[in-house]
Amino acid sequence: MRIGIDARTILNPKKGEAIGVGHYTYQLIRHLLDIDKENEFVLFFDFKVREKDVRKFTRPNTTIRFYPFSDYKRYLPGAYNEFLTAATLRKEKLDILHSTSPTSRMPVTYRGKTVVTFHDMAMYKIPECFSESGKIRGKFGYKLMAKKADKIIAVSNSIKEDVEETFGVGSKTEVIYSGLDKRFFEEPESDADRVLGKFGIKKKYIIFLGTLEPSKNITRMFHSFAIFKKKNIQRKIKAGKKKDFNYQLVIAGKNGWLAKEYFQIAKDLGLKKDIVFTGYVIGDELVPLLRNAEFFILPSLYEGFGMTILEAFATGTPAIVSKVSSLVELAGDAAQFINPMDTENIAKAIDKFSQNEELRNSFREKGFKQARKFDWNKVAKETIAVYNKVV
């Protein structure tokens, strides 16, 4: 089998989602190449990606191709761009083409066998969290790819149900859970004190990890943290203790749509000194940042998969997560669930976790076990099985 994979989200964060689709694509390709020595793979990158950066994917059964016109895409008419892309793909005589996200859409005129991975359906389930222009572009691509694909890989049962309900694609959707990078189970090489010092973390802290955007429900999380702070101080005053607040909320992740508003909201709630915005965290610093947190929180309104929960589990960080979409099946019984629409409920869970070390330890052990279920080698084997069904 000659298998083409659209790898444009790798090594090109501006084009793809560095911590989402890009991570999935990178790990899938790496593990496919490790376990499959029989099939041929053709990996398609943007022209701007340097050849030395893709050498890690070089194998006897692997061909690297670059879209030669990608640097000039914005200057080309849409139809001309479609024609060139389709011609590039046809030239490779692929048995199957895998697009790792509907946002990396294939040409309308391409007639080869195709597989598409769907990671989320948020713009359909929580449309109020997206810009109008983003929804128009996104929904066009999603609908096209769902109809065009011979097989759809959904990264959760929740996504499978949403895709089938929205597009009426019947039985061509299969669930393959994403894997978890094994480095999250390992002791970090980076010095924890240096990492915490770099970000100005001086107290016990609760960590949120994800893109700063409306779907993550950050505004309600801030209001809940403000309620928790008030209760914490009141409890100390009642006990005759110093009324200082010994917690910080660490917001780790890159800025998304409307992210600038969160800085002002933190200030308006009197939390400017209590909330730390780290920005995007590089890999070597992420593990110690998770591992040293008191606990992790993800109050999202919707998640297609929720990889950050598994990353928290693997580092031994107990978690509070929303009881929505894929998070229920992903976390199992290893997390404290909350109603993301109820700030009092979120605040109560934070307060409960902060006071009960035994409860945190219980979830810590469950999290370790849950995280080990998600393996990239298994993902690669199940993906090859989907390829074989299409061909």
Q: State pLDDT tens for residues 204-241.
A: 999 999 999 999 999 999 999 999 999 999 998 888 88
Enter the pTM of the model. Answer: 0.90
pLDDT above 60 for 76? no
Tokens at 289, concatenated: 């940042």
pLDDT-derived band at 70 (thresholds 50, 70, 90) equals: low
**pLDDT (tens digit per residue) in 289-336:** 999 999 999 999 999 999 999 999 999 999 999 999 999 999 999 999
Dist CA 324 CA 242 (whole Å): 39
Mean pLDDT value of segment 41-52: 83
pLDDT the model gives residue 292: 96
**pLDDT (tens digit per residue) in 253-286:** 988 888 889 999 999 999 999 999 999 998 789 9
Spatial CB neighbours of 207, under 8 Å, sequence gap ≥ 6: 249, 250, 252, 289, 290, 293, 295, 296, 297, 312, 317
Mean pLDDT value of segment 13-22: 59
pLDDT above 90 for 115? yes
Mean pLDDT value of segment 107-131: 92
pLDDT the model gives residue 186: 86
Dist CA 345 CA 63 (whole Å): 53
Spatial CB neighbours of 94, under 8 Å, sequence gap ≥ 6: 2, 3, 4, 42, 112, 113
pLDDT the model gives residue 347: 98
Domains annotated on the chain, with CATH: 2-179+375-390 (3.40.50.2000), 182-371 (3.40.50.2000)
Measuring CA to CA, which residue among 274, 335, 268, 275 is closest to residue 300? 335
